[in-house]
Structure 1
Amino acid sequence: MTRIAIMSDVHGNFEALKEVLADLDGHAVDAVYCLGDMIGYGPQPQECVDLLRGRGVECTMGNHEQGLINIHYLRGFNQPAADVLRRTREMISEETYQWLTTRPKSIVEHGCRFVHGLPPDSVTEYLWKYRDEMAGVFARYGEAVCFVGHTHDLGRYTCLRGEPVRQPLPEGETALEQGVRHLVNIGSVGQPRDGDNRAKYGLLDLDSRVLTMRFIPYDIKKTADLIVARGFHRGFADRLW
Structure 2
Amino acid sequence: MPQPFDVLETLWELLISLKTYSIILATFKRLFITIGISTLLGLSLGLISGMHYQLEAFLKPIVVSLRTLPVISIIVIVLILYGNVFSLYIITFLLLFPIIYQAELDGVKHIDPLLISVLKLECNRCSPRGIRMVYLPLSLPFLRTGIIQSAGLGIKILVVAEYISQAKVSIGREIYLGRINLEYNLVFAWSIILIIVVLLVEHLVEKYLITTYKN
Indicate the structure with greater strand content.
1
Indicate the structure with greater helix content.
2
Shared fold (TM-score greater than 0.5)? no
Please classify the TM superposition score into its range, dividing by the shorter chain length.
under 0.3
TM-score (norm 1): 0.26
TM-score (norm 2): 0.28
Compare relative contact order (CA 8 Å, sep 6+) and give the higher one, 1 or 2. Answer: 2
